[in-house]
Structure 1
Amino acid sequence: MPRIQSPSSINLYKQCPRKYYYRYILNLEPLPSIHTLRGNITHSVLQHFFDVDTSKLTMKNFEEPLKTELQSLLVKFWNESKKNLDALSLSSDQLIFYFEETLMMLLNWFEKFTQKMKSFQGLSFSEIFQKLTPLRELEIASKKHSLRGFIDAIEDLEGEKRVMDYKTSKRFELTEEYRLQLAIYALLYEEKHGYPPKKVGIYFLKDTGKHEHTIPVDKALLVWAKREVAFVHEMTQSDNMGDYPKNITPLCKYSTGQCDYYEPCMVQKTIPELVQVKLD
Structure 2
Amino acid sequence: MFTPPDYLSPSSIRLYQDCPQKFKINKFDNIKEPPSWATELGTFTHEVLEHLYLLDPSERTHDSVKTLAGQLWADNGWEEKVLSLDEPKGDIKKFKQTAFSNMINLWNLENPQETFIDEMELEVESEVEGVRMRGFIDRLSISDDETAIISDYKTGRVPNPRYNTPDKQFFQLLAYALMLESANDVQTSQLDLLYLTESTKKTLEVTPALLATAMGTIVETKEALDNACNTGEFHCKVTNLCDWCHYKKTGLCPAFANK
TM norm structure 1: 0.77
Would you say the 8 A contact 1:5–1:148 is kept in 2? yes
Q: 1:240 to 1:85 in 2, by over 3 A?
A: farther
Q: What does residue 139 of structure 1 align with? A: 123
* Superimposed CA distance per residue, residues 201-229 of structure 1 (whole angstroms, 9 cap, x where no aligned partner): 21111123xx2211111111221122111
| 8 Å CA contact retained: 2:36, 2:87 | no
Match of 1:232 in 2: 221
In the alignment, does 2:167 pair up with 1:167?
A: no
Residue 70 of structure 1 pairs with residue 62 of structure 2: no
Count of matched residue pairs? 241
Unaligned runs of 5+ in 2: none
The answer to whether 1:98 aligns with 2:83 is no
CA shift digits 1:81-124 (9 cap, x unpaired): 2221121167795321121111111111034333x75xxxxxxx
Question: Over the residues paired in the alignment, what is the CA RMSD in angstroms?
Answer: 2.5
Specify whether residues 12 and 167 from structure 1 end up closer, same or farther in structure 2 by C-alpha distance, changes over 3 A only: same
Please name the residue that 1:267 is paired with.
257
The match for 1:248 is 238
Q: Deviations over 1:231-276 (max 9, x none)?
A: 11111124478511111111112xxxx31111111217xxxxxxxx
Structure 2 CA distance for aligned equivalents of residues 36 and 27 of structure 1: 19
SS at 2:237's partner residue?
coil
Q: Name the aligned partner's letter for residue 141 of structure 1.
A: E
Pair 1:13–1:109, CA change in 2 (3 A): same
Give the Cα separation in 1 of the matches to 2:88 and 2:9.
35
Instruction: Name the SS for the 1:96 alignment partner.
Output: helix
- Give 5+ residue unaligned stretches, structure 1: 118-127, 269-280
Could you say which residue in structure 2 is the equivalent of 1:48? Answer: 51
Superposed, which structure 2 residues align to 1:149-168 within 5 Å? Answer: 149-159=135-145, 160-168=147-155
CA distance in 1, matches of 2:90, 2:151: 33
Matches within 5 A, 1:123-138: 128=114, 132-138=116-122
Alignment of 1:14-25 (within 5 A): 14-25=17-28
Change (3 A) 1:195 1:67: same
SS in structure 1 at match of 2:181: helix
What is the CA–CA distance in structure 2 between the aligned matches of 1:88 and 1:188, rounded to whole Å? 34
SS in 2 for 1:137: strand
Deviation at 1:198, TM superposition (A): 0.6
Cα offset, 1:180, TM superposition: 1.3
Equivalent AA in structure 2 for residue 107 of structure 1: I
TM-score by length of 2: 0.83
Match of 2:201 among 212, 215, 225: 212
